[in-house]
Amino acid sequence: MPQLYIHFAYPVLIIVLALFCIYRLKIAQTKNAGGVGLIYSGLILTFFVSIIFLVEQHPDFSDWFLEGIYPIIVILEFALLAAGLILFVAGLAIYFSNWGDRIIEVDIHLNKLKLLEKIQQECRAPYPVPELLNRVLTILLYDLEEKAGAAYLFDQKNRTFTLAAVAGMAEEEIELLKDYQYGRNVISEAIDNDTPLITSDFRSFGGRAQLALAGFNSLLILPLISGKTKLGALLFFSEKKSRYSEEFISLVSPIINWLSARIEITQIGR
């Protein structure tokens, strides 16, 4: 009789475990969370095996099947139990890994908000566009621990880029970056496509400006566009290879959007 109670407790424990996962871990309430299907599958298989264990306690169970069937039942029980446990553990691992990714996403989002709020506070005065760009660039380089960067304004009438702000560059390098022409180069490409551009090929920078960037290994170009108006571009230079990524772009995108709108408003009111 005590053994019967023990086997009767198995399905009850599985149900309790399932309720714990559903209500305490809130797996049923988490949308698009990975591993949930595996967790449910593992619990169902384990519950099914526990029911078989309970049925086996029936006094006449040994007479229900041919003698050769019982070893097969034992093997199937073991296989189902092992599969259920593996699915359950794998599901939990994926589920908590997914939560780790969500925490990272939340951290990135919070960093975006903090950085944007800081820049908005520092630049709330009606600064001229060059000074605005210089302030934003300085804050971004400091907070993102970047070494060098530049900002260009696009002169649509003359089809040229004017160097409006620069940081972390030597005087001779700054001279090489001035008077940049619109045309077949990476800045023009990024602006025309309205898409951030990451490259390590500074020859694609074109003109004598590429000579100023010989000591860097990574370049990120962030187009400054408001609506259909091409305003310019913000650039980051790094000595590290493969320094920039989609995650980095995602972090600075809200600032770029805000800055583009601010530049357009300032130019209209000028």
Specify the 3-state DSSP secondary structure of 165: strand
Strands, sheet with 180-181, edge to edge from the N-terminal-most edge strand? 180-181, 160-167, 148-155, 229-238, 218-226, 197-199
Is residue 263 classed as helix, strand or coil in its secondary structure?
helix
Measure the CA–CA gap between 142 and 136, rounded to whole angstroms: 10
Look up residue 216 and give its two tokens. 């860097």
d(CA 63, CA 85): 30
CA distance 40 to 95: 12
Of the candidates 179, 149, 146, 147, the one whose C-alpha atom is nearest the C-alpha of residue 162 is: 179
Predicted confidence at residue 196, as pLDDT, reads 92
CB atoms within 10 A of CB 48: 15
Find all residues with CB under 8 Å of 162, minimum gap 6, and list them.
152, 153, 154, 155, 179, 180
Closest CA to 208 of 176, 163, 164, 160: 176
What pLDDT does residue 160 have? 84
Structure tokens at 117: 């709020």
Please identify, in words, the CATH class of the domain defined by 123-269.
alpha beta
pLDDT at 221: 93
Domain spans of the chain, in order of start: 2-111, 123-269
Q: Which two tokens mark 162?
A: 């004017």
Local confidence pLDDT in tens for the 270 residues of the chain: 455 555 555 566 666 666 666 655 556 555 555 677 777 787 777 777 777 776 766 666 666 776 777 777 777 777 877 777 777 777 777 776 665 555 555 455 556 667 888 888 888 888 899 899 999 999 888 888 888 999 999 888 888 888 899 998 888 888 878 777 787 788 888 988 889 998 887 776 766 777 677 778 888 999 999 888 899 999 998 888 888 888 888 888 888 999 999 988 888 765
| pLDDT reported for residue 85 | 76
pLDDT at 235: 92
> Which residues are 180's β-sheet partners?
161
